[in-house]
């Protein structure tokens, strides 16, 4: 793949993730829409966010909340029209903002026209667009019979029964029905996905967040060489035509994702069988989204952990990849339990302080800036336990928290009914609220080159037996040096200032912070950005 420079606009970008069905309902039908996003663009801009990531808004039967795409080239009618989406691009660009759409390249809905043709017994141009076994009773590692079709075969699924896997080939083959990654069928799938990206980029889209980007090629092993090669081909083609487009991968292994041609990879929240990854150690080190008593998260005041286990996982990944692209932090996302109410307002302030000042391009999930809570609600559209992080945005004290004028029984999901449920309007009126803390953090980030996504990063204090963490951020040209320090614990801790600190001063702080006498003293649950 030819090397295409990362888009310059990413260096200062801050993304705001929008779940379209629950952000803002402009027409009173109980579900959010594109016009609703347009009407709230000024709010997102004023927060300090410069870009949007919009979860799938394409035509779908919505058995997996839109990740089961029925037509990649058409907006779902419940959200509006293609013309509405183009208008969103234009309105965002007029505000100096960029827009990423959500691309689902690994599978489609079983109702997609490609799959309808692929199901037919008579061979046609789509017969091999999906992965079919040699007969209906050979299910391979998937369900015994994946679904009913004219063909004497069954199809391989991705995740849900309604999501047949697209055919990008097999890295290693142990059945005669498996295509190679160099086959005409696999090449056809890659070409088709390039055409999808071209379609929206030509209409003004600025790029894509890519769902499960590491899962295209089957039997690809842990190193994913063939999936990387597939993306190098696809992204190389697209970026040659649209060099300012940006791509973020749901991969979780930046060394692979950035080698594949992505500009950004997410530090995903993983917890398998009770074993946390680095991000989980920071923010959600507990089984259960509402389990406060047993939470050992670094951001929890009672968690007790030091920053060292996180750094042991993060630093090797950062050091290998930071010159190639960004390893991005999220406050949360549509698949992850929100930090509230498990973590208190103060705990989240300290945590967001770190997440929004670390290297990489930060992603703020809608509603986190006001402290929206994870709620235990019945599953909707395949959300299951994730549904509790997808409830409607809380705008004001009007019915349905200002999300919609529809009857509350007609809403896509119920609004938080608590009397103390935070709202945008209420928090904007309170200078000491979470939304103002987020705005202050993002304003500071925009004003200082040392906080850019690709600015330098180096740990300064990370004791193994304390809660303290301090790190330097240095501008690329070496003109600016900042120090970020946090103490999520309940006891005061301190550390020695770097030798080059001549007249340190706190630019932004939370809690008790004393910058003087060559040392920084951090009171309980405190955070500071310090100019050196």
Per-residue pLDDT of 358-372, as tens digits, reads 999 999 999 999 999
Final residue belonging to a domain, choices 405, 423, 445? 445
Q: How many domains does the chain have?
A: 3
Final residue belonging to a domain, choices 445, 470, 493? 445
Say whether both 133 and 257 belong to one domain: no
Q: What pLDDT does residue 1 have?
A: 52
Cis preceding-peptide flag for 135 (omega within 30 of 0): no
Classify residue 366: in a domain, yes or no: yes
267, 329 contact by CB (below 8 A): yes
Q: Give the tens place of pLDDT for each residue, 272-295.
A: 999 999 999 999 999 999 999 999
pTM of the full predicted structure?
Answer: 0.97
Say whether both 159 and 55 belong to one domain: no
Classify residue 171: in a domain, yes or no: no
φ, ψ (nearest 5 deg) of residue 336? -125, 135
Has residue 499 got a pLDDT over 60? yes
- At residue 244 the predicted structure's pLDDT band, cuts being 50, 70 and 90, is very high
Say whether both 233 and 376 belong to one domain: yes
- Per DSSP (E only), the strands in 296-345 are 326-328
Say whether both 153 and 207 belong to one domain: no
Q: Give the tens place of pLDDT for each residue, 343-356.
A: 999 999 999 999 99
Has residue 448 got a pLDDT over 70? yes
Where residue 158 sits, what CATH number does that domain have? 3.90.400
Say whether both 297 and 420 belong to one domain: yes
Final residue belonging to a domain, choices 414, 445, 476? 445
Mark 110-137 as b/e (b = at least 16 C-beta within 10 Å). bbbebbeebbeeeeeebbbbbbbbeebe
Say whether both 295 and 441 belong to one domain: yes
Q: What is the DSSP letter of 130?
A: B
Higher pLDDT, 146 or 45: 45
27, 72 contact by CB (below 8 A): no
Has residue 144 got a pLDDT over 70? no
Classify residue 177: in a domain, yes or no: no
Q: What pLDDT does residue 148 have?
A: 80
Classify residue 3: in a domain, yes or no: no
Alpha carbon distance 82, 67 (integer Å) = 18
Q: Which range of residues forms the domain containing residue 464? A: 456-531
Say whether both 292 and 193 belong to one domain: yes
Q: Count Cα neighbours of 200 within 13 Å in the Cβ-side half-sphere.
A: 29
Q: What pLDDT does residue 330 have?
A: 98
Say whether both 234 and 359 belong to one domain: yes
Classify residue 174: in a domain, yes or no: no
Classify residue 36: in a domain, yes or no: yes
Say whether both 240 and 336 belong to one domain: yes
Say whether both 114 and 103 belong to one domain: no
Say whether both 95 and 156 belong to one domain: no
């Amino acid at each position: 793949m030819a090397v295409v420079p990362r888009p310059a606009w990413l260096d200062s970008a801050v993304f705001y993730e929008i779940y379209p069905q629950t952000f803002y309902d402009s027409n009173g039908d109980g579900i959010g829409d594109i016009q609703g996003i347009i009407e709230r663009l000024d709010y997102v801009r004023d927060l300090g966010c410069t870009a949007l990531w919009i979860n799938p808004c394409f035509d779908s039967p919505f058995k997996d909340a839109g990740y089961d795409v029925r037509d990649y080239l058409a907006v779902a009618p419940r959200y509006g029209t293609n013309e509405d989406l183009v208008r969103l691009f234009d309105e965002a660009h007029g505000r100096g903002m960029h827009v990423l759409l959500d691309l689902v390249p690994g599978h489609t809905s079983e109702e997609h026209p490609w799959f309808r043709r692929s199901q037919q017994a008579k061979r046609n141009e789509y017969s091999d667009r999906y992965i079919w076994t040699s007969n209906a009773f050979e299910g391979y590692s998937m369900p015994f019979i994946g679904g009913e079709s004219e063909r004497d075969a069954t199809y391989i699924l991705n995740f849900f029964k309604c999501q047949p896997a697209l055919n990008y080939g097999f890295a290693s083959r142990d059945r005669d029905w498996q295509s190679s990654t160099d086959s005409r069928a696999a090449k056809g799938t890659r070409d088709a996905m390039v055409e999808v990206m071209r379609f929206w980029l030509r209409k003004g889209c600025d790029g894509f967040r890519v769902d499960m980007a590491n899962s295209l090629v089957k039997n690809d092993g842990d190193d994913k060489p063939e999936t990387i090669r597939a993306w190098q081909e696809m992204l190389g083609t697209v970026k040659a035509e649209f060099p300012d487009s940006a791509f973020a991968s749901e991969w979780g292994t930046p060394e692979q994702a950035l080698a594949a041609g992505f500009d950004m990879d997410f530090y995903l929240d993983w917890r398998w069988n009770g074993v946390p990854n680095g991000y989980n150690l920071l923010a959600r080190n507990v089984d259960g989204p509402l389990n406060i008593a047993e939470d050992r998260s670094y951001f929890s005041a009672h968690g007790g952990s030091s920053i060292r286990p996180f750094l042991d996982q993060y630093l090797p990944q950062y050091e290998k990849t930071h010159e190639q692209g960004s390893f991005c932090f999220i406050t949360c996302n549509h698949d992850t339990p929100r930090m509230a109410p498990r973590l208190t307002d103060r705990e989240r302030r300290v945590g967001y302080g770190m997440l929004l000042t670390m290297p990489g391009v930060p992603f703020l999930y809608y509603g986190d800036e006001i402290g929206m809570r994870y709620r235990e609600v019945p599953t909707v559209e395949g959300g299951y336990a994730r549904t509790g992080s997808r409830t409607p945005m809380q705008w004001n004290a009007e019915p349905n928290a200002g999300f919609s004028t529809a009857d509350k029984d007609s809403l896509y999901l119920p609004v938080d009914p608590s009397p103390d449920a935070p709202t945008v309007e209420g928090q904007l009126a309170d200078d000491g609220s979470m939304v103002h803390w987020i705005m202050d953090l993002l304003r500071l980030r925009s004003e200082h080159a040392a906080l850019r996504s690709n600015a330098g990063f180096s740990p300064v204090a990370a004791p193994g037996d304390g809660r303290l963490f301090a790190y330097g951020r240095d501008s690329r040209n070496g003109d600016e040096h900042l120090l970020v320090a946090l103490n999520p614990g309940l006891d005061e801790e301190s550390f020695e200032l770097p030798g080059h600190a001549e007249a340190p001063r706190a630019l932004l702080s939370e809690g008790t912070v004393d910058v003087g006498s060559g040392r920084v003293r951090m009171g309980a649950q405190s955070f500071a950005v310090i100019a050196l």
